[in-house]
Amino acid sequence: MMPPALLSLPRSSSPSVSPSPLCPGRRSAAVQRHRPSIPSRPAAGICYASQAVELLPSLYPGTGVIVRDAKLEDCWEVADTHCSSFFPGYKFPLDLVLRLDRYIALLSGFSVPPGCTRSCLVAVNPTAANSAISIECGDLRDAEFHGKYSLSKGSVAGILTVDTVADFLPRRGRLKQRRTGIAYIANVAVRKEERRKGIAKMLVAEAEERARSWGCRSVALHCDVSNLAALRLYKSQGYKSIRVPEDAKWPAPKIDQSVRYEFMMKLVPKS
């Protein structure tokens, strides 16, 4: 399982967290009376669901699992999968607060620097049982509510984010310029009941396809050195450990000071 990184879900007109990349600084959450309007042309630097790479969802034969871009209606499941995987020890009410915080942040979306791309991928298991809870948002003083969001559970089996923002890659040159041509994978998480089915491998494979479509020449990630299963997975997929100089101040996820990360990279196979 990857250390959490900034998880963002682009918006769409139709209706998923982490001090480092899925838990940015806490965001203030305000209940809005109306569903936010979606501009016909997104502002520069903002990533929307309609801008997601237009690739057909990948269906993996023999499993029935589909890997695709996350949609707005997946927000609660993405937030729940992230929190249950990276923060399993949280108890009520903190676990609920954390999920709601991530849910609202995902609905709001995050900006990305101009020229950069970010995708949130989900592995969907169509055979999983799905139960939904609807939340209606509005002013309690009104006779009716104006917004409605669905909190579904049961179909999203795993999540992953991949981007070219390069927040966790060493900067280039004296001017500390952002590196280009390298995609970064984070927030690889699979629900407990869906593990050992190759879902993480499917997500990573799709992320590499996205990196190739973006013109990236390599993919990088950080992995918790104590997570032996994840290390085996990445090494089996061709990722190599990169030795970081002792005096180098390379950026890395900052979840817990006691956690050590292995920096790994892989060349993107040419199609």
Q: From the CB of residue 223, how many other CB atoms can be counted at a distance below 10 Å?
A: 23
Q: Exposed, middle or buried: residue 43 (CB in 10 Å: 0-12, 13-18, 19+)? A: exposed
Q: Which amino acid is at 178?
A: R
- What gap in Å lies between CA 3 and CA 64, rounded to an integer? 27
What's residue 4's pLDDT?
A: 59
Strand pairing report for 218-224 and 182-190: parallel
Q: Which residue has the higher pLDDT, 16 or 164?
A: 164
- Taking 60 as the threshold, does the pLDDT of residue 25 lie above it? no
Mean pLDDT score of the chain, rounded to an integer?
76
Q: From the CB of residue 83, how many other CB atoms can be counted at a distance below 10 Å?
A: 26
Tokens representing 96 are 């609920």
pLDDT in tens, 153-186: 558 999 999 999 999 998 888 888 889 999 999 9
- Taking 90 as the threshold, does the pLDDT of residue 3 lie above it? no
Say whether 239 is catalytic.
no
- What gap in Å lies between CA 186 and CA 252, rounded to an integer? 11
Question: What CA–CA distances, in Å, run from 234 to 54, 132, 185, 188, 243?
Answer: 26, 34, 11, 11, 16
Question: What CA–CA distances, in Å, run from 18 to 7, 58, 80, 222?
Answer: 9, 28, 13, 14
- Taking 50 as the threshold, does the pLDDT of residue 14 lie above it? no
Assess contact for 125 and 65: CB atoms under 8 A.
yes
- What gap in Å lies between CA 15 and CA 8, rounded to an integer? 15
What's residue 187's pLDDT?
A: 93
- What gap in Å lies between CA 105 and CA 23, rounded to an integer? 10
State the average pLDDT over residues 193-197: 91
For 189, the 3-state DSSP assignment is strand
Say which CATH architecture domain 58-131+148-267 belongs to.
Answer: 3-Layer(aba) Sandwich (3.40)
Q: Residue 140 gets which letter from DSSP?
A: T
What's residue 100's pLDDT?
A: 94
What's residue 8's pLDDT?
A: 54
Reference 204, options 14, 1, 64; nearest CA is 1
For a pLDDT cut of 90, what percent of the chain falls above it?
A: 46
- Taking 50 as the threshold, does the pLDDT of residue 106 lie above it? yes
Domains of the chain: which residue ranges?
58-131+148-267
pLDDT in tens, 118-154: 999 999 988 765 444 444 444 434 444 344 444 445 5
Tokens representing 86 are 């990276």
Task: Single out the catalytic residue among 48, 90, 103, 234.
Answer: 234
pLDDT in tens, 218-246: 999 999 999 999 999 999 999 999 998 87
For 158, the 3-state DSSP assignment is strand
